[in-house]
Amino acid sequence: MISHKKYMELAIKLAEKGKGTTSPNPMVGCIIVKRGRIVGKGFHKKAGTEHAEVLAIQDAGKKAMNSTMYVTLEPCSHWGRTPPCTEKIVESGVREVIIGMKDPNPLVHGYMELKARGLKTKIGILEEEAEKLNEPYAKWMKFKKPFVVIKVAMSADGRIATKTGDSKYITSKEARTLVHQVRTEVDAVMVGVNTVLRDNPELTPRLYKGKDPLKIVVDSNLKIPRNCNLMKDPSRLVVATTTKASKSDVQKLQDKGIRVIITKPDKGMVDLKELMKELGKSEIINVMIEGGSELNSSAINAGLVDKIMIFTAPKLIGNGKGAIGNLGITKIAKAINLKDPVCRLVGKDLLIEAYL
């Protein structure tokens, strides 16, 4: 069992190389072992390209015969964008398949398929770690909605900006670099229009090499300036508004090549639940909210947030803008308790990562 765990750990590390590029597919790593030696490796790089198992089998060649395969996610058994991996595994002569976790996709029955074809098969090795790797994929597969992370950068006294709205930069370059890294790993970054008006952000991963995410602006009345930084690449911009917005303003944005999502008004604002459903339909499986206090509290109140990243800088601001708006909590006993919090230092800042 110890060697099973050791090889599965390596497969999980390998899977992580696909971070940010496999969406809406999961990250998958695969290792083929024969007589205690790794003879083949593969990880899924991009939706529509070969799966990890196929790449590992190609890497192993003839050595795959009578080997043991370690794969982080149940192999696919159906025709999707690529042929089923179970067929390739059987053809290759692999004798035993060790699987990290079951695929939440209801079309996948790879474990049963391989068993039925006479291969020795085990599932649930380092299952928790394998599941953590693909939280966004699992949520999207089950509910067709994206996994939502809120990122907050605040002072030690809980402020995200001064009284005048100045917020650059509360946290250190190390913290900002980590945020840019996360931007390369998510499908989309979301802000409210007030953040655009106040900061004119680019929301690109300038400090970290990687994929540039889609930008989503929540803008109930279409106040987004036509010359803001986000307009530089209209194909990477989504503006969410309400049926209250003027049709000619919507048309002007669409003429520029910007996607406009129109929801019914929810207390005069964009209906975030409806927006998330629309994003899910577009195969957007994870979103990072980098907005102000109002967008943060609206998303939490709507029950849309899965995880929060709070960067706290060792600075005091005093009167200023709070990190999260009204949650309707009047008693400490009713406070939202964050689950599984993990704290670490990033530069001089403290990062708390937790689930809601």
Tokens of 350: 């403290």
Count Cβ atoms within 10 A of the Cβ of residue 334 and give its class: 0-12 exposed, 13-18 middle, 19 or more buried. exposed
Residue appearing with tokens 């944005």: 253
Tokens of 34: 């024969």
Give yes or no for a cis peptide into 213 (omega within 30° of 0). Answer: no
One of 53, 74, 185, 290 is an active-site residue; which one?
A: 53
Active-site annotation holds for 53: yes
Count Cβ atoms within 10 A of the Cβ of residue 142 and give its class: 0-12 exposed, 13-18 middle, 19 or more buried. exposed
Angle at 73 between CA 100 and CA 19, to 5 degrees: 110
Closest CA to 24 of 109, 145, 110: 145
Helix, strand, coil shares of the chain, percent, nearest 5, are 35, 25, 40
Hey, which residues are catalytic here?
Answer: 53
